[in-house]
Amino acid sequence: MNTRTQKYIAEVLGTFILVFFGCGTAMVTKANVVATSLAFGISIIVAAYTFGKISGAHLNPAVSFAMLVDGKMKTDEFIGYVISQVIGAFAATGILSVLVACGALGKVWDVKKGKEITAGIGDSSFGANGFGNMNFFGALLVEIILTFIFVLVIINVTESEDEGTKKHAPIFIGIALTFVHLLGINLTGTSVNPARSLAPAIFGIGATDGDSIAQVWVFIVGPMVGAFIAALVNSILLRKKK
């Protein structure tokens, strides 16, 4: 059995992978919908297969909260998971900020032609979420719905009685994360993960004129509410009664 320390370290590293490659891809591609959606989806597959056997690879306070509501975690362990996830997200965003300062993500060189081409970080918001053209209620509703779908998939594939489904749970979870990003990127940037939102919101204060930090509460509250509803719906409607 893995110790709590091992679990917490696994959550730090797994969340680092998710945020570094997910938000990093959003920065480099100027939030290209398909590229960014796939980056987040594939990142969680990689992280889940690597660290899932240690910590369950929650990588997301909303997922951990759903497990707490579902009775699969104790409060103190939940707090430890959330702290670890936030640390992982800040570490990833911190390194992205170093790369921006080094100029590594602003321009690249076409080696064959020997000329400079734009690769595009474009902005330095670090993938921060925002309301877009909506008011706070619209953004909150989007995040609740997207997280509800995402977390409901996680709960059901991880506790499935079908061994094939459970064995390949990371793939289904990655597909679900890609799925919600395809719609959500052009609405809120897609959070569904408070840790993923908090770090970019702080690092992106300058680039967003403070909007990122002023709006980040929606991307904390929305996912947590969506996760709570997912756990409730699963318990009442979907789980087989003994």
Report all structural domains of the chain as residue ranges with CATH numbers, in order of start.
4-238 (1.20.1080.10)
Helices 61-69 and 136-158 pack at an angle, to 10 degrees, of 60
pLDDT, tens digit, 9 for 90 and up, residues 75-84: 999 999 999 9
CB count in 10 Å sphere of residue 105: 18
What per-residue confidence (pLDDT) applies to 125? 85
Give the rounded percent of residues in the chain with a pLDDT score beyond 90.
Answer: 76
In our burial notation (b when 16+ CB lie closer than 10 A, e otherwise), range 222-233 reads bbbbbbbbbbee
CA-to-CA distance for 144 and 219, rounded, in angstroms?
9
Beta bridge partners of 109: 116
Place of tokens 């995040």: 143
What per-residue confidence (pLDDT) applies to 104? 56
Sign of CA dihedral 70, 76, 81, 86: positive
What per-residue confidence (pLDDT) applies to 160? 85
Instruction: State yes or no: pLDDT of 176 exceeds 60.
Output: yes
Range from 118-127, 174-183, 201-210 carrying the lowest mean pLDDT: 118-127
3-state DSSP helix/strand/coil percent for the chain, to nearest 5?
70, 5, 30
For residues 124 and 6, the model is more confident at 6
CA distances from 73 to 3, 76, 96, 224 (A): 14, 8, 32, 15
What per-residue confidence (pLDDT) applies to 158? 93
What per-residue confidence (pLDDT) applies to 120? 46
Average pLDDT over residues 204-222: 93
What six digits make up the tokens of 57? Answer: 């690879």
Instruction: State yes or no: pLDDT of 34 exceeds 90.
Output: yes
What per-residue confidence (pLDDT) applies to 12? 98
Instruction: State yes or no: pLDDT of 41 exceeds 50.
Output: yes
Region at 105 (left for phi over 0; alpha for psi -120 to 50; beta for the rest): alpha
What per-residue confidence (pLDDT) applies to 105? 54
CB count in 10 Å sphere of residue 36: 26
Instruction: State yes or no: pLDDT of 119 exceeds 80.
Output: no
The 3-state DSSP class for residue 213 equals helix
Residues 164, 169, 170, 174, Cα dihedral to 10°:
110
Kindly write down the DSSP assignment for every residue of 51-64, as one continuous string: HHHHH----SHHHH
Cβ pair 14, 51 in contact under 8 A: yes
